[in-house]
Amino acid sequence: MTSNAKIVVRKKPNKEGLYPLAIRITKNRHSTYHYIGHYIDLKYWDGKNIRVRKSHPNSDRLNLLLSTKLSEANKMLIDLQSQQKDISANQIKKQLYSSPESTSFFEVANDFLHELELNNKLSRLSADKARVKHVLKFTKSKQLTFPEINETFLKRFQTYLRKKHNLSERSIVNNLVVIRTIYNRAIKMGVVDKKLYPFGATKIRIRFPESEKAGLTKEEVKKIESVTGLTENETHARNVWLFSFYFAGIRVSDVLKVRWDDIYDGRLHYRMSKNAKLLSLKIPDKIVPILKHYLDDKQSNTDFVFPELKKANLSDPKDIFTKSKTANKKFNKYLKQVASKAEVQKKITMHIARHTFGTISEDKIPINMLQKLYRHSSITTTINYQSNFIHKDTDDALDSVINF
């Protein structure tokens, strides 16, 4: 018997009460379904004429899509029949929709995210998963194809992020970077022709806006150091922040991994999580009181200095990441209270400890030495980072003109 394809609305609504559009493939009275990825209210479906009613706001686009999908399916069915292949409806569906060209954006995105997870790049995984979810919420379809991601699509997506989610320009760029990464991956897989690539000098250009990096001044740090009347949680958050600052802005995830046996010969020895670099830094005198504060809780030389990871499953990177992320959120909450009690107007977070070191160091430390302290792989990264905090030359130049 011949096989056939037909556009149908499946009677299985989603959480919003909308029904999925699908292509039904039938062979020998057995049917299987390929979901197109779009959902509609039943009142918009014209079952007699098998089309979306004109009253639907996107009827023209949806009907064009349905017509295209049905035409593609029938063409491939004719090709299969001409080869006299006696296969089932499910086998027909597999042959029709398993080609690379039918691979959706989200299928490639899921592979990309899974690879991040396998490589324990959990911080990036957490951020990029949210960005992929933004695309899904924007398109409302899991069947988004790469040819659909053109300049118009990307411009509309930027407007959506700006208006609907109130994202900063830097965050919007980060979302575009993830789409670009996944698109490049699809090109290498042969899923989409590189001629359709929507990014580039004459298309969508990704430009990172300059971000303001402002740390605390010496006077503000002194206020944080000397403030009294703190609760136990506020004191702990202040200690972790100062520990990070005194060591040139060690990231909070690395601070929490410091063990007592990492401290010997008057130095801190640790390996960075971000790039696995080994570091050895002198213990500043100001660190000593902080270490003494936690000495009574020390259970062994291999114990963590700070308590957040003491109950973590150290063989599970996800558990370590989750507990570190939770701790960072907790610290930032209490640092806000510390700042209020210290009468510091600037917002203080764990990450600001790194900016604060940059602000106070200004141009006092040679750039190659700052590269070592910041643990940057490239000195260019250090130059670009430190340029956010060096204002003396421009201030002097301004004064030389206007002070007359």
Q: Lowest mean pLDDT: which of 19-23, 304-308, 321-325?
A: 19-23
Tokens read off for 69? 């999908």
When mean pLDDT is compared over 115-119, 121-125, 178-182, the highest value belongs to: 178-182
- d(C-alpha 249, C-alpha 252), whole Å: 9
Q: Which amino acid is at 351?
A: H
pLDDT score recorded for residue 355 = 80
The SS3 assignment for 40 reads strand
**What percent of the residues of the chain are helix, what percent strand, and what percent coil, each to the nearest 5?**
55, 10, 35
Range of weakest confidence among 30-44, 58-72, 378-392: 378-392
* Residue 329 pLDDT greater than 50, yes or no: yes
Q: From residue 108, how far is each of 36, 48, 150, 319 by CA, in Å?
A: 17, 37, 17, 26
pLDDT of residue 260: 95
pLDDT over 70 percentage in the chain: 81
Of 13-17, 98-102, 276-280, 292-296, the range with the lowest mean pLDDT is: 98-102
The pLDDT, as a whole number, for residue 86 is 63
Q: Which is more confident, 314 or 28? A: 314
What pLDDT, on a 0 to 100 scale, did the predictor assign at position 390? Answer: 47
pLDDT tens-digit series, residues 264-280: 998 888 777 766 667 78
Q: Quote the pLDDT of residue 369.
A: 58
Q: Which CATH architecture has domain 105-196?
A: Orthogonal Bundle (1.10)
Read off the tokens for 204: 């969508």
pLDDT score for 46: 93
Would you say residue 99 has pLDDT above 70?
A: no
Q: Check whether 263 has a pLDDT greater than 80.
A: yes
**Which class in CATH covers the domain with range 218-361?**
mainly alpha
pTM: 0.60
pLDDT band with cut points at 50, 70 and 90 for residue 238: very high
* 103/199 Cα distance (integer angstroms): 20
Least confident of 137-151, 160-174, 223-237, 351-365: 351-365
Residue 389 has a pLDDT of 44
Q: Which residue has the higher pLDDT, 334 or 81?
A: 334
Domains of the chain by residue range: 4-98, 105-196, 218-361
Residue 342 confidence (pLDDT): 95
More confident residue, 40 or 80: 40
Token pair 């039904």 is at which residue?
Answer: 24
Fold equal for 105-196 and 218-361: no
Q: pLDDT confidence of 352, banded at 50, 70, 90? A: confident
401-404's contacts with Cβ under 8 Å and 24+ in sequence apart are none
Do residues 34 and 108 lie in contact, with contact meaning Cβ atoms separated by under 8 Å? no
Confidence grade of residue 385 (pLDDT, cut at 50, 70, 90): very low
Give the model's confidence band at 209: pLDDT under 50 very low, under 70 low, under 90 confident, else very high.
confident
Q: What does the pLDDT read at residue 155?
A: 94
Which residues, in sequence order, are CB contacts of 178 under 8 Å at separation 6+?
Answer: 128, 131, 132
| pLDDT reading at 393 higher than 60 | no
> pLDDT per residue over 131-167, tens digit each?
999 999 999 888 888 999 999 999 999 999 999 999 9
Q: How many CA atoms lie within 13 A of 169 on its CB side?
A: 7
Banded pLDDT at 398 (limits 50, 70, 90): very low
The arithmetic mean of pLDDT across residues 7-32, rounded, is: 84
For residue 378, the model assigns a pLDDT of 62
Instruction: Please tell me the distance from the alpha carbon of residue 6 to that of residue 82, in angstroms, as a whole number.
Output: 19
How many helices (H) and strands (E) would you count in the chain?
A: 15, 8
Mean of all residue pLDDT scores within the chain: 83
The residue written with tokens 């919420």 in the block is 137
Work out the average pLDDT over 41-65: 91
Residue 6's contacts (CB-CB under 8 Å, 6 or more residues apart) are: 23, 24, 26, 50, 70
pLDDT at position 394 over 50:
no
